[in-house]
């Protein structure tokens, strides 16, 4: 994949032209880059910016849309599309239309289902505009799932459930064929209507890539009042390249004939999903089922990093933290011998969280250090390194408070041979306690301790400085109006 680094010659020229507001010069630089590399998300965004400034709003909208398709986490997108709202149907300049064209590629839709009568039709109807045909793999429904799916126009394959999600998905391979692409969704996932054009676009863009491109979509998880996008779910891949589903549960796309080179990308194919809400998971007994199947997988393949990683994650989610730690350490060890395993950063993040939960902070610090060393671009390793450092600092500050108080408590009753400085209980220990209390944000208690120390040594510059700082901070707090944070927007189901 070609990536535009910050020092790419075309990018330097484009940014220079955009900053100088030389819009046509920018277009002249960006256009040949996109003719050569049509998957360059940043080039599409730059082109959209230039076109917007010459009032070619329809073309700008289309270019921004292509850039967002290729970089769905982009923070700029909501703001830009709100600004251009109303121009989405404006005409597109012919040369821009030509630049946006992609080869037509057959795209199939596939759904794995069991007892999904309440939502299978909605799932199919949402998917149909984006694909050429829909295949449903049913694993033994006892409700009307099969009849509803056929009535909605899907081809239904009925298979016997064998406690193996990978095998169930592979049952669709012959029906899907060996040309084009396939997009898999689950029956409780509903394709966003704004993205129905995306599967065919990305299939056309990546169809001839070698090694083959596997694409993640955006699973928009609705968790009560929260909405959390997940960008690590790989569900779209080219047919006829030897790829299919591997793994008993939390199945992954891979080569059936053993590891081979592949590429991974992400596309703005958003699906709304409510299946991870805790009530749904408990109602369907998904936690227990997942753990049962994962234990079977680890018995079948004891050296499989993915099996142990998923088992550790699901054990942690279900509250079995000690067992989770053991499984996650096994996953980490196995991953050292499996260079194709791509989720080690997740394993280490969950392992850090589990170790913190168990108050095994020294272990968590070491794991976080390994996470940062192996993937310094991923935020989770840095986060857990910071979190553990903060917790350990808090532990030490608590110890400082307790030790300073103990020094003051034992001094009056000490009758031993070795004498001690009378400043320890009268001045030094109270100042240490005050310093520690201030670090914890316990400002009123710190003020009282500093004030007591000041009565012992009124001219001590350090104590007076701390009292002045606390006084200034208190005055600043009192002057600033107290405001609650704004209420979040509630998701609409």
Within its chain, how far is the Cα of 92 from the centroid? 34
- What are residue 142's phi and psi, to 5 degrees? -110, 5
Work out the average pLDDT over 196-204.
98
Residue 410 has pLDDT above 70, yes or no: yes
Q: Which fold has domain 107-279?
A: Spore Coat Polysaccharide Biosynthesis Protein SpsA; Chain A (3.90.550)
> CA-to-CA distance for 183 and 127, rounded, in angstroms?
9
Q: Contact 142/86 with Cβ under 8 angstroms?
A: no
The mean per-residue pLDDT over the stretch 482-491 comes to 54
The CATH number of the structural domain formed by 414-479 is 1.25.40
Spatial separation of the C-alpha atoms in residues 411 and 228, rounded to whole Å:
55
- Please tell us whether the domain made up of 9-100 is placed in CATH 1.25.40.10: yes
Do the domains 414-479 and 285-390 match in fold? yes
Residues 185, 186, 188, 192, Cα dihedral to 10°: 0
pLDDT of residue 383: 96
31 pLDDT exceeds 60? yes
What residues form DSSP beta bridges with 319?
none
Cα–Cα distances (Å) from 15 to 28, 29, 49, in that order, read 12, 10, 11
Q: Is the pLDDT of residue 181 over 90?
A: yes
User: Average pLDDT in the 441-463 region?
Assistant: 95
Structure tokens at 215: 């694409």
**In whole angstroms, what is the distance from residue 443 CA to residue 441 CA?**
5
**pLDDT number for residue 75:** 92
User: Residue 9: enclosing H or E segment and its boundaries?
Assistant: helix 9-19
Question: Which helix H or strand E contains 27, and what residues bound it?
Answer: helix 23-36
> Closest Cα to residue 47, out of 105, 293, 162, 70?
70
List of residues 6+ apart from 180 with CB closer than 8 A? 105, 106, 107, 108, 132, 203, 238, 239
Helix/strand number for the chain, H first, E second: 22, 10
What is the number of other CB atoms lying within 10 angstroms of the CB of residue 127?
A: 24
331, 312 Cβ separation under 8 angstroms: yes
More confident residue, 8 or 197: 197
Residue 276 has a pLDDT of: 61
Percent of the chain with pLDDT over 90: 85
**pLDDT tens digit sequence for 104-163:** 999 999 999 999 999 999 999 999 999 999 999 999 999 999 999 999 999 999 999 999
For the segment 170-185, the average pLDDT, to the nearest whole number, is 96
pTM: 0.76
CATH classification for the domain delimited by 285-390, as one of 3.30.465.10, 3.60.15.10, 1.25.40.10, 3.30.70.100: 1.25.40.10
Closest listed residue to residue 185, CA positions, set 120, 99, 257, 281: 120
With a CB cutoff of 8 Å and minimum separation 6, the contacts of 360 are 325
Q: Of 460, 466, 415, which Cα lies nearest the Cα of 436? A: 466
State residue 15's pLDDT score: 96
Please report, for the chain, the start and end positions of each structural domain, with discontinuous segments joined by +: 9-100, 107-279, 285-390, 414-479
Residue 401 backbone dihedrals phi, psi, to 5 degrees:
-60, -50
Stated as kind and residue range, the H or E segment containing 236 is: strand 226-238
Q: What is the mean pLDDT of residues 256-276?
A: 91
* 7: confidence class by pLDDT, cuts 50, 70, 90: low
User: Can you tell me the distance from the alpha carbon of 164 to that of 72, in angstroms, rounded to the nearest whole number?
Assistant: 31
Please tell me the predicted confidence (pLDDT) of residue 111: 98
Give residue 479's pLDDT band: very low, low, confident or very high (50, 70, 90).
confident
Looking at mean pLDDT, say which of 28-32, 439-443, 472-476 comes out highest.
Answer: 28-32
């Amino acid at each position: 994949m070609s990536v535009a680094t910050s020092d790419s010659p075309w990018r330097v020229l484009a940014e220079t032209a955009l900053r100088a507001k030389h819009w046509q010069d920018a277009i002249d630089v960006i256009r040949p880059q996109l003719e050569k590399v049509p998957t360059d998300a940043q080039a599409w965004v730059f082109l959209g910016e230039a076109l917007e400034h010459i009032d070619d709003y329809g073309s700008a909208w289309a270019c921004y849309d292509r850039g967002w398709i290729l970089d769905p986490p982009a923070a700029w997108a909501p703001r830009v599309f709100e600004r251009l709202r109303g121009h989405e149907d404006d005409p597109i300049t012919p040369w821009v239309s030509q630049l946006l064209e992609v080869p037509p590629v057959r795209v199939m839709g596939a759904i794995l289902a069991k007892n999904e009568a309440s939502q299978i039709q909605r799932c199919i109807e949402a998917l149909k505009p984006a694909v050429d045909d829909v295949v449903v793999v049913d694993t033994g429904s006892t409700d009307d799932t099969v009849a509803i799916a056929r009535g909605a126009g899907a081809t239904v394959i009925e298979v016997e459930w064998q406690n193996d999600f990978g095998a169930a998905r592979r049952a669709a391979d012959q029906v899907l064929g060996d040309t084009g692409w396939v997009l898999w969704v689950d029956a409780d996932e509903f394709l966003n209507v704004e993205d129905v054009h995306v599967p065919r676009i990305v299939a056309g863009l990546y169809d001839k890539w070698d090694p083959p491109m596997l694409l993640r979509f955006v699973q928009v998880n609705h968790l009560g009042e929260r909405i959390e996008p997940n960008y690590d779910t790989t569900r779209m891949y080219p047919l006829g390249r030897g790829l299919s589903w591997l793994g008993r549960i939390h199945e992954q796309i891979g080569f059936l004939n053993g590891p081979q080179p592949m590429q991974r990308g992400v596309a703005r194919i958003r699906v709304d999903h409510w299946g991870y809400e805790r009530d749904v998971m408990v109602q369907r007994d998904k936690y227990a089922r997942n753990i049962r199947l994962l234990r079977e997988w680890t018995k079948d393949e004891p050296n499989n990093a993915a099996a142990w990683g998923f088992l550790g994650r699901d054990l942690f989610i279900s509250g079995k933290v000690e067992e989770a730690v053991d499984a996650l350490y096994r996953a980490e060890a196995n991953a050292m011998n499996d260079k194709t395993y791509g989720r080690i950063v997740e394993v280490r993040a969950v392992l850090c969280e589990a170790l913190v939960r168990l108050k095994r902070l020294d272990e968590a610090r070491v794991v976080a250090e390994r996470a940062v060393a192996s993937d310094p671009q991923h935020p989770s390793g840095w986060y857990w390194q910071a979190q553990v450092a903060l917790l350990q600092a808090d532990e030490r500050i608590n110890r400082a408070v307790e030790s300073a108080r103990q020094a003051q408590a034992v001094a009056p009753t000490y009758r031993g041979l070795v004498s001690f400085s009378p400043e320890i209980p009268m001045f030094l220990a109270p100042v240490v306690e005050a310093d520690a209390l201030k670090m914890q944000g316990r400002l009123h208690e710190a003020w009282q301790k500093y004030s007591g120390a000041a009565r012992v040594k009124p001219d001590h510059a350090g104590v007076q400085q701390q009292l002045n700082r606390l006084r200034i901070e208190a005055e600043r707090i009192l002057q600033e109006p107290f405001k609650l944070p704004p209420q979040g927007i509630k998701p609409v189901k």
